[in-house]
Amino acid sequence: MKRRKAAISIVSVAVAAVMCIGLAGCGGCSGWLNPGDYLGGGGVATSIPSETDTNLDTLAEDAAGDIPAAVYTDAASVRANAAQLTSKNNDIEDPGAYYVEGSLSKKINVNADGVTLYLIDAALTKADGKCIESEKFGLTITLIGSSTITNTGEAKNAVDIEQELIINGSGSLAVTSTKNGIKAGSIKIRDASVDINADQDGLHAEIDYDDNTTAPSFSYSEGGFVYIQDAAVSVTSADDGIQADTFVYIAGSSDIDVTTNGGAPASLSQITDSSSDKVSGKGIKAGLLDWGENDTDLTVPDDTGGDYLIYITGGNIDINSNDDAVHSNGQIIMTGGTLNAATGDDGMHADKLMKISGGDIDIERCYEGVESAKVEISGGSVSVTSSDDGINGADGTTTRMGSANTNCYIIISGGDVSVNAKGDGVDSNGSMLISGGALYVSGSTSSNDAALDADGSIIVNGGTVCACGALGMVETPASNSGQNVVSYAHSSTIPAGTTIYLTDADTNTIVSYELPKNCQSIIISSPDLKTDGTYYIYGDGTSLCSFTVSSTITSVGSSKSIQQGGAPGRR
């Protein structure tokens, strides 16, 4: 059966909304979605309904199960309890324990289930072929000492296992492959250290279907996943680093280091909307699941009852990728761990839902930072430096000019979010809700983009917001927000490096933010902004304005004049 891995990149199309120019609140602009209809009744929005499939993480855990620890952990025990494979005896026909110690230059064929293969300082090599293969069964590989697997010549997977492959043990394995480094029905790695250099994918988990005439039923129980727990995995690949048909699950104290297709462009200025076009090289990918033969590969329909998933609960992940660093054709759920990424395209992309409730994310350079139809951030920390939008709620479709896409939204209800974007800072093709956490945005210096941008309404019901950018396309949160907002315009550029302070009447600092770039517009919201209270905005030690909060949205200053308030010196 011939299989092709589709590499479809969803390119968000920012639909220009009918916007109010200057500092007027845009919540009532003609043609915009009514926040009360979309976000909740009663005039003041409380939440955007989440469509998270809360069972996905449970399904992934159940399907992955436990990764067994090594049965024998030292060479002496293995020699006493396992059969040795040699150049004259390299086929495995019965269940049991086997081992290779030293060099072996013939392919190991696994023709039985229930086999554990111990590699004791082994060096497996094969010219023009696979080093380890099982056409029907699974395999456990236990590592003791330092081992290598290398094939040369014809493009073949170095390790090719039809069913589940488990790699465990306290040893290390270096794989060099002319195709995929390790390909299996599903791949589980625990404790071990695995280093892969591959001409295609590093780890490749693929479901095999015998029936090429009927669309397969999507099910996690079929396999097609990669599960890494408390292991060290390093991949250098020409194509994807980690590719799974169904899901990728990273847990525990795992260390993941992935470089694909030469890595990201060296500087942010080199990253454009076409810098990763017509190339491969995603860091971690789940989907698309293809099936068929010859030239009739088809994608599994959306109504088959499953969803592609990348699920990160722990570990330290470093990705330097030519294409998306983390990409799911369904969902990404991150509850813990750390992710550091540099990429020529998106930092994290999910077609349907991005849900971040914990962990630390630092996307140091990318085209767009965090992108999905639906983005929900409720915890952890997210830092993005992007050549276009920082956080983008888009599904790749277009909508009527001035209309919101009701399939898209961005919710920030917790966590610490920092965006430094050359495009829009936070951009939703639907609506945007900020109800908690802290959001600091340095948007574009171009008047064509905004620090906060939504084709629907922007609602602020809580949290701390400081969004700075240019004046031309400023979008102020809607007047039916539940928390007071001040929108300030300066008559000239406030230079990068200036620290912006919002203080109360006693000059106690409420919000402060050091500008990564020049700006003229500042939008600030905080629970400490009280109606009828008097406040000041400073740039370093210089008073920019004073104002009294008289309504939910307070506009101060303009592109032509500044309302100076004779504020006292900040302390």
Beta bridge partners of 259: 236, 320
Residue 416 pLDDT > 80:
yes
Mean pLDDT of 142-164: 97
Residue 152 pLDDT > 90:
yes
Query: What does the pLDDT read at residue 297?
Result: 47
Q: Exposed/middle/buried for 518, CB within 10 Å: 0-12, 13-18, 19+?
A: middle
User: How far, CA to CA in Å, does 354 sit from each of 349, 370, 432, 483?
Assistant: 8, 8, 14, 25
Residue 220 pLDDT > 50:
yes
Query: What does the pLDDT read at residue 56?
Result: 81
Mean pLDDT of 490-495: 93
Single-letter amino acid, residue 534 = T
Question: What's the rounded Cα separation, in Å, for the pair 384 and 365?
Answer: 7
Query: What does the pLDDT read at residue 144?
Result: 98
Question: What's the rounded Cα separation, in Å, for the pair 414 and 337?
Answer: 17
The answer to whether 432 and 457 are in contact (CB under 8 A) is yes
Residue 391: which residues within 8 A CB-CB, separation 6 or more? 369, 370, 371, 375, 382, 384, 410, 417, 419, 425, 426, 427
Mean pLDDT of the chain: 86
Q: How confident is the model at residue 212 (pLDDT cuts 50, 70, 90)?
A: low
Write the Ramachandran bin of 415: left for phi over 0, alpha for psi from -120 to 50, otherwise beta: left
Residue 296 pLDDT > 50:
no
80's enclosing H/E stretch is helix 75-81
Nearest to 132 by CA among 101, 114, 156: 156
Mean pLDDT of 76-95: 95
- Cα 60–62–63 angle (5° rounding)? 65
Q: What is the DSSP letter of 114?
A: S
Residues 317-327 pLDDT 10s: 999 999 999 99
**Beta strands 499-504 and 534-539: pairing type?**
antiparallel
Write the Ramachandran bin of 451: left for phi over 0, alpha for psi from -120 to 50, otherwise beta: alpha
Query: What does the pLDDT read at residue 9?
Result: 27
Listing DSSP states for 85-99 in one string gives: PBTTB-EE-SSEEEE
Nearest to 140 by CA among 159, 121, 122: 159
Residue listed under structure tokens 């210096």: 445
Residue listed under structure tokens 């992955």: 64
Query: What does the pLDDT read at residue 213?
Result: 65
User: How far, CA to CA in Å, does 323 sit from each of 129, 259, 279, 311, 357?
Assistant: 29, 10, 7, 20, 25
Sign of CA dihedral 177, 178, 183, 187: positive
Question: What's the rounded Cα separation, in Å, for the pair 246 and 209?
Answer: 14
Nearest to 481 by CA among 553, 409, 402, 534: 553
Q: How confident is the model at residue 48 (pLDDT cuts 50, 70, 90)?
A: low
User: How far, CA to CA in Å, does 338 sit from each of 233, 251, 365, 518?
Assistant: 15, 11, 16, 30
Single-letter amino acid, residue 425 = G
Mean pLDDT of 126-134: 95
User: How far, CA to CA in Å, does 498 sit from each of 168, 424, 430, 484, 524?
Assistant: 52, 21, 33, 24, 16
Residues 174-193 pLDDT 10s: 999 999 999 999 999 999 99
Give the N- to C-terminal CA distance of the chain in Å, as an integer: 72
Percent of the chain with pLDDT over 90: 74
Polymer length in residues for the chain: 571
Query: What does the pLDDT read at residue 57?
Result: 83
Query: What does the pLDDT read at residue 232?
Result: 98
Listing DSSP states for 478-547 in one string gives: PTT-SS-EEEEEEEEEEPTTPEEEEEETT--EEEEEE-SS-EEEEEEE-TT--TT-EEEEEETTEEEEEE
Percent of the chain with pLDDT over 70: 82
User: How far, CA to CA in Å, does 365 sit from each of 166, 340, 385, 412, 419?
Assistant: 34, 10, 5, 22, 11
